Structure 1
Amino acid sequence: MDKVLYTAMSGATRMMDSQQVRANNLANISTTGFKGDFNNAFALAVEGEGYDSRVHSEIGEQWTDMSGGTLSQTGRSLDLAIQGEGWFTLMDDQGNEAYSRAGNFHVDGEGVLRAANGMMVSGDGGPITVPDYQQIVVADNGGLSVLPDGADQDQVMVVDNLKLVNPPSEQISKGDDGLFRAVDGQPVDVDPAVSLVSGYLEGSNVNAVSEMVSFMTLSRGFEMQLKMMQSAETIAESGDTLLRD
């Protein structure tokens, strides 16, 4: 088999990998707080005793675009958006922390404040539990207060403070579920400088037009690699025919 087939196959494989990343970005274009991903490819020469005439394609490091998405007004008290840099802290049933920009929260039947994915929203002392209320307010510093059911208007109760953090980007990594976690597995400290706004949600930072153009470019590149493989096969068959004749 001509070694050009391996070169073309490596290029086609890398194109498919990049297409999957772009397709995932497009699939999450309407996901609250979603951060788009990118990867790059580089040429890797195949070294040997002869001339390095073969160059394979390899995928480099994948990274995430940390820029903010557009804020959309909802008017709902438990729709929250980070202003500038920072993250909400979520917690699973085992007490493990994860970080998200999606602030579409709700109170479940047991009074636990939860994110849209079902994870608990973390406060200063762990998961936030909210009593029955007639009104709920979240301040720009993450302070959560309620006016309990049956209480007078001046009997506002401070419940907790949302745990807002802002770790350096190199200290967190994105998982397959779209959430970010500390690289060292340790909880991130509260950052009092992080602020939020109530009644708004942050949209995805994915640019649909840019992603579609990139996806189409990758598709054309994939087709070109397939044509190269077909041409190599045709040349090989022609060579075999000449040798037989």
Structure 2
Amino acid sequence: MIRSLWTAATGMKAQQLNIDTISNNLANVNTNGFKKSRVNFQDLMYQSLREAGTPNNQGSQVPAGIEVGHGVRPAATQKLFAQGSFQQTGNPLDMAIEGDGFFQVVRPNGQVGYTRDGSFKRDSNGRIVTSDGYPLASDITIPEDTTDVSITAEGRVMVKQPGNEEVTEVGQIELSRFSNPAGLKSIGRNLFAETPASGGPTVGVPAEDGFGTISQGYLEKGNVKVVEEMTNMIAAQRAYEVNSKAIKASDQMLQQANNLKR
């Protein structure tokens, strides 16, 4: 059987995953805090028909061997944590991280989730929560009679209440960062979970020890560039097409061999 049939098939399967990844990037172009993914590929094993350095009939060594590759495989889908653009909203509980760091929220199972989506709300108990009701790990509660909320670049949450000229600090937002954020696991709902590959979180205060600052009244949009993704999609589509043509050419070669007459 001609090797190219199976080799080209691996190329088609790899480009299908590439298109799937690009589609997910484009689908989340307006998702707050979304980080796009990129597929990394590796070539497969090679069959050596002649080793480099093999002695020839004249007693010298051949300078190059003969190797036939067996295709490609996806090696990883890597998250790219480049900063997304900011959108001003004016909402006092909208926050964007300018620089490194993740907001920490408590999931229903008690484990901590990490997110760059700063579109927070206030629940019936006054806690600062995500759109799904997951509270900040800092457990900050805003009093019911609050007339104004301000959040500093360092993450200090200040409120103003009736009859009090002074602002009152009700909590401190902390951020987490990882030595290998690409190793985080995407679990949906704009959340990541730590893994052995990401390492444990380092928790700190915004604007200190290399953590980013918090911008109140802004949201970080996804870092997907539509033109770039469309270009990647065209390239993937053409690669899929050319691999399908390689399969067709191999089939035609087999057909011609089958039609040979003595």
TM-score interval (norm. to shorter): 0.7 to 0.9
* Structure 2 residue matching 1:242: 3-state secondary structure: coil
- In the alignment of these two chains, the number of paired residues is 239
* Structure 2 residue matching 1:122: 3-state secondary structure: coil
State the shift of 1:129 in Å.
2.9
Residue 222 of structure 2 corresponds to 204
The answer to whether structure 1 residue 97 and structure 2 residue 112 are counterparts is: yes
The answer to whether structure 1 residue 128 and structure 2 residue 140 are counterparts is: yes
Distance 1:204 1:143 in 2: 25
Where does structure 1 lack aligned partners over 5 or more consecutive residues? none
TM-score using structure 2 length: 0.82
State the shift of 1:49 in Å.
6.9
**Matching residue's letter, 1:165:** S
Where does structure 2 lack aligned partners over 5 or more consecutive residues? 51-65
TM-score using structure 1 length: 0.87
Asked if structure 1 preserves the Cα contact closer than 8 Å seen for 2:176 and 2:201, the reply is no
Distance 2:131 2:120 in 1: 6
Percentage of pairs with the same residue? 26
Distance 2:133 2:229 in 1: 29
The structure 1 residue matched to 2:156, chosen from 137, 143, 149, is 143
State the shift of 1:134 in Å.
2.3
Asked if structure 2 preserves the Cα contact closer than 8 Å seen for 1:172 and 1:181, the reply is no
Deviations 1:45-103 (A, max 9, x none): 33367753233112223222111111111111011111222221111022211211111
* Structure 2 residue matching 1:52: 3-state secondary structure: strand
State the shift of 1:107 in Å.
0.7
Distance 1:97 1:231 in 2: 53
Residue 190 of structure 1 corresponds to 204
Residue 167 of structure 1 corresponds to 178
Structure showing greater Rg? 2
* Structure 2 residue matching 1:220: 3-state secondary structure: helix
**Matching residue's letter, 1:18:** N
Residue 181 of structure 1 corresponds to 193
Residue 61 of structure 2 corresponds to none
Distance 1:118 1:9 in 2: 45
Farther-moved stretch of structure 1 (179-188 vs 200-209): 179-188
Distance 2:177 2:201 in 1: 12
* Structure 1 residue matching 2:2: 3-state secondary structure: coil
Residue 17 of structure 1 corresponds to 17
Asked if structure 2 preserves the Cα contact closer than 8 Å seen for 1:19 and 1:215, the reply is yes
Farther-moved stretch of structure 1 (36-45 vs 3-12): 36-45
Farther-moved stretch of structure 1 (135-144 vs 200-209): 135-144
**Matching residue's letter, 1:152:** G
